[in-house]
Amino acid sequence: MSFGGPTLGLKENELTLVQKLLGIRWLLLILIGMAVGVGVIGLVSVGKGRFEPWADRQILRFGVGLIALFIVALTDIRIWLRLAYPLYALALALLLAVHFFGTVAMGAQRWLDLGPVNIQPSEVMKIALVLALARYFHGLSYEDVGRPHYLIVPMLMAFAPALLVLKQPDLGTAMMLLLGAASIFFLAGVRFWKFALVIGGAVAALPVAWNFLHDYQKRRIHTFLDPESDPLGAGYHILQSKIALGSGGVFGKGFMQGTQSHLNFLPEKQTDFIFTMLAEEFGMVGGLTLIAIYVAIMIYGYAMALRVRHQFGRLVGLGVVSTFFFYVFINMAMVMGVVPVVGVPLPFVSYGGSAMLTLMIGFGLLTNAYIHRDVPLPQHGGVPA
């Protein structure tokens, strides 16, 4: 495969727009819409029964996200295959830029001010890393994956952005990047013992890593281990979140009746802790409903990805689904006090534009892979000889 001309190799097996549109799984979009709907209900509650200022903007962002999803989904997959590395390089460059020129917000340097738009390079990286790793493993044969030296490059590809994000400091996103990357390694067939080796090495390096953590991160981990030790300080979030959740009971306190949330005992209830508020107001029934929607999305994602016949599409598809899963799991586990407090939003539900766009583009890529499931992609296309 060469980069000779923009149209070379794309003309053959080109799908018509109609074929593409037929490939879109509308049920997936409906499930995502349901998750966004749950989020809108929560944001209306936060807004004390009003759509502004949160719910309306969230709906708008969903609309923008849908457009992005369609554009991404309908673009020929070979363009994505070809753009995988350049996109990764761009994302890495942005991360470096943010490291040097970024705007500090909420105590962390995450944003890059580009005049009219602020972009969060770590969000771009979530997609770019999935694409780049998928592209890399797409080019490796079954045997190649078994050879350790082939794993050095993708490991660097994963760790480099993760470290940059950790420096920002954003522990949550760094974890998300590594877990997403690990999923792709795992799906690509990397042996279990190699994972064991890396994890073992990481554990051994923990004491060293501890020193690189910021005080607030150390405190969060410490607080996570013993939240009651500091109920008015750093442990406040976890404790109040558990109280709100627990007091919701099976059926909840009712829409807009969540006392803990509405009396502001619960922090960041429209963003990271929105699940707590939903679970307080709608109880375990409401919480399980949302989880069911998420599980349905994931099952659908698996089903779609498994029908893709090329490695690139499969890896991108499940890479996206895994990233989505880790969003869900880390956020919920955090608000329930299972993992330390890290800034990971609840996908489609938490108020916020970056995560929404990332996820919609991600699901656009999944849909794209599904649409182009039968398009033959040359295995060694693009892999440097």
Nearer Cβ to other proteins (164/330): 330
CB of 68 to other proteins, least distance (A): 25
d(CA 121, CA 123): 5
CB of 58 to other proteins, least distance (A): 23
Does the footprint of other proteins cover residue 240 (CB under 8 A)?
yes
Does the footprint of other proteins cover residue 180 (CB under 8 A)?
no
Out of 155, 163, 256, 288, name the contact with other proteins by CB under 8 A. 288
Is residue 367 within 8 A of residue 69, CB to CB? The reply is yes
Does the footprint of other proteins cover residue 257 (CB under 8 A)?
no
Does the footprint of other proteins cover residue 259 (CB under 8 A)?
yes
Q: Which stretch binds other proteins (CB under 8 A): 10-18, 35-43, 93-101, 314-322?
A: 314-322
Nearer Cβ to other proteins (162/238): 238
Does the footprint of other proteins cover residue 334 (CB under 8 A)?
no
CB of 145 to other proteins, least distance (A): 8
Out of 107, 189, 200, 254, name the contact with other proteins by CB under 8 A. 189
Does the footprint of other proteins cover residue 179 (CB under 8 A)?
no
Nearer Cβ to other proteins (101/302): 302
Does the footprint of other proteins cover residue 287 (CB under 8 A)?
yes
CB of 117 to other proteins, least distance (A): 34
Tokens in use for 76?
A: 């020929």
d(CA 212, CA 218): 10
Q: Which stretch binds other proteins (CB under 8 A): 42-50, 124-132, 284-292, 362-370?
A: 284-292
CB of 259 to other proteins, least distance (A): 5
**Contact letters for other proteins, residues 138-177 (x by CB under 8 A):** ---xxx----------------------------------
By CB under 8 A, name the binding residues for other proteins.
141-143, 183, 186-189, 240, 242-250, 259-260, 263-265, 279, 283-284, 287-288, 291, 295, 298, 302, 305-306, 309, 311, 314-315, 318, 322, 325, 328-329, 332-333, 336-338, 379
